[in-house]
Amino acid sequence: MLMMLALLVLGFSNTQAQDNKPKKEKFSWQKEYMDEAGIAPEVQAKITVLKEESEVKVKAIKKDTTFSEEEKKEKIKEVHKKKSEAINALLSKEQKNKIKEIKERLKKNDEVN
């Protein structure tokens, strides 16, 4: 009985330790990254609108029961592609390069963690 209790406590503490791992930091169009890339506030506002519009479209696609799961994936992929193209059209070459550097840094940091 004492062994069962010890195993239970050990299992619980292991689960807790896993929950405390830092979450992967993934690039998103957060203000801090846009600031770091030198994107003007007016352009940041446009990017935020594009991001929000795509999120609304993705939610609608996910709720639509007329599409198969494969069709939903394709439609969501297309929404993300159009958003990326629209955002890229707003950025200078230097800003695109800086965003690429930020993404690479985040990926490298994630691999270390």
- Which helix (H) or strand (E) segment holds residue 14: the answer is helix 2-19
Map 52-90 to HEC letters: HHHHHHHHHHHHCCCCCHHHHHHHHHHHHHHHHHHHHHH
Say what the pLDDT of residue 18 is. Answer: 47
- Quick check: pTM over 0.85? no
Half-sphere exposure of 43 (CA within 13 A, CB side): 16
Q: Could you list the pLDDT tens digit for every one of the 113 residues in the chain?
A: 555 445 455 554 444 444 454 455 567 788 899 999 999 999 999 999 999 999 999 999 999 999 999 999 999 999 999 999 999 999 999 999 999 999 999 888 877 65
For residues 34 and 47, the answer to whether their CB atoms sit within 8 Å is yes
